[in-house]
């Protein structure tokens, strides 16, 4: 149970949910390792009309690492309605080509996929905005 991530500028009394520990379960976020993994995930969810939130980042990107605890926490609470997946674009060369094909220019980028199509995207690491976008692509009316 060694700490591996902690939000900066937040006191210990406000830190609940934003700390990851070795041993935490990550099985609610599918870890994708190749283009075929992404295509299989999309194909598997095409018929069930379930929203896929694909977290695209880089291994050494600060904002990508910073937002991951929120993604993990959301995956636990939204498991019935949303499938969460993560891919690191710098994992191999074919990923970089795949990201180019998907018009991913900045990271972190969250792709919202339903019925086999990319319905939208959110670029950034603001947790509140990410939650709002997920809700919006689930059909919930969100006002900012």
Calpha distance 134→42 (Å, rounded): 17
Known catalytic membership, residue 34: no
Q: Which of 61, 102, 131, 135 is catalytic?
A: 61
Q: 130: which 2 tokens?
A: 């990410």
Alpha carbons 119 and 51: distance in angstroms, whole number:
10
Distance (Å, rounded) from C-alpha 88 to C-alpha 30?
A: 12
Of 30, 32, 64, 130, which is the active-site residue?
64
Whether 64 sits among the annotated catalytic residues: the reply is: yes
Kindly list the catalytic residues: 61, 64
């Amino acid at each position: 149970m060694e700490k591996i991530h902690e939000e900066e500028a937040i006191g210990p009394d406000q830190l609940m949910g934003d700390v990851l520990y070795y041993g935490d379960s990550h099985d609610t976020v599918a870890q994708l390792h190749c283009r075929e993994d992404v295509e299989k995930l999309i194909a598997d969810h095409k018929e069930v009309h379930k929203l896929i939130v694909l977290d695209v980042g880089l291994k050494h990107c600060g904002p990508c690492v910073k937002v991951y605890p929120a993604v993990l926490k959301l995956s636990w609470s939204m498991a019935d309605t949303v499938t969460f997946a993560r891919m690191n674009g710098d994992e191999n060369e074919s990923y970089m080509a795949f990201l180019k094909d998907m018009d991913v220019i900045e990271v972190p980028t969250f792709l919202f996929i339903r019925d086999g199509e990319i319905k939208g995207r959110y670029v950034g690491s603001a947790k509140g905005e990410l939650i709002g976008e997920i809700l919006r692509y689930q059909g919930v009316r969100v006002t900012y």
